[in-house]
């Protein structure tokens, strides 16, 4: 399944819930890239400056990183892509991957269910500037909409929460611009394939999860290529 939507739409939060429900891994390209930056790998060194500016990392680097992750055994039953694909070139690469055409001895998979998060622009800004995450367990909170019991401390493991570097106001504008120009066209790409479902990302977290689970179940029971529900 693919979670499609602007930064701050709630994709990461929902992905964690779907992981728990369906026991499939979340592949977040943003998390994978941040991990590469933290470890100082070659990929991390190449991506660091672009990420700090809020620009997208080149397609070939991201595709290779995703390919290496998707062939791991835990992805065999399915996976949730959060933050990928983000360009038409990445979506075309993913189509070839899912068709089993990238690696030798790779089995083809079903086409993805694609969930598009529709969110009001002002609430995006509030979510992005208010977002804090736990460096230990990865849980995401928001000082405005999903605060912790004790300010700045993870409810689950007590770690001090951190703000992402690229959630600073000046970088956010660039990230939203990259989304509008490069990622928004993907909705049409997947709509043409009959695999797109819209969810109202401005609803509360539980209601969004309900919408996503309904979409997954509808598609599970629908023949491939059938347009299924969604606004």
Active-site residue numbers?
11, 86, 131, 164, 175
Name which of 71 and 88 has its Cβ closer to ligand AMP: 88
Q: Which residue is nearest to ligand AMP (CB)?
A: 30
Minimum distance of ligand AMP from residue 223's CB (angstroms): 29
Query: Where on the chain is the footprint of ligand AMP (CB under 6 A)?
Result: 7, 29-30, 33, 50-51, 54-57, 62, 83-84, 86, 90, 166, 175
**Distance from C-alpha of 43 to C-alpha of 63, rounded to nearest angstrom:** 12
Lateral strand order in the sheet of 80-82: 26-28, 80-82, 2-4, 114-118, 196-200
Minimum distance of ligand AMP from residue 169's CB (angstroms): 14
**Distance from C-alpha of 7 to C-alpha of 178, rounded to nearest angstrom:** 10
Name which of 56 and 212 has its Cβ closer to ligand AMP: 56
Minimum distance of ligand AMP from residue 37's CB (angstroms): 9
Which among 215, 184, 223, 178 is positioned nearest to 199, based on CA atoms?
215
Cβ atoms 3, 80 nearer than 8 A:
yes
Name which of 171 and 199 has its Cβ closer to ligand AMP: 171
Distances (CA, A) of 190 to 17, 121, 158: 23, 22, 41
């Amino acid at each position: 399944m693919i979670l499609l939507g602007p930064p701050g739409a709630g994709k990461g939060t929902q992905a964690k819930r779907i992981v728990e429900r369906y026991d499939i891994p979340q592949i977040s390209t943003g998390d994978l890239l941040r991990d590469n930056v933290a470890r100082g790998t070659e990929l991390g060194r190449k991506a660091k400056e672009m990420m700090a500016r809020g620009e997208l990392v080149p397609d070939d680097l991201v595709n290779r990183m995703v390919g290496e992750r998707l062939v791991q055994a835990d992805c065999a039953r399915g996976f949730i892509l959060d933050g990928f694909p983000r360009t038409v070139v990445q979506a075309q690469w993913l189509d070839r991957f899912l068709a089993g055409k990238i690696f030798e001895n790779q089995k083809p998979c079903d086409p993805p269910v694609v969930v598009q998060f529709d969110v009001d622009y002002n609430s995006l800004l509030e979510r992005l500037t208010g977002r804090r995450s736990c460096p230990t367990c990865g849980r995401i909170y928001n000082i405005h909409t999903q605060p912790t019991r004790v300010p700045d401390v993870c409810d689950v493991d007590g770690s001090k929460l951190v703000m992402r570097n690229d959630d600073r106001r000046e970088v956010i504008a660039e990230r939203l611009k990259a989304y509008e120009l490069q990622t928004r066209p993907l909705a049409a790409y997947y709509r043409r394939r009959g695999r797109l479902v819209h969810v109202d990302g401005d609803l509360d977290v539980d209601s969004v999860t309900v919408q996503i689970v309904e979409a997954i179940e509808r598609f599970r029971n629908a023949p491939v290529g059938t347009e299924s529900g969604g606004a």
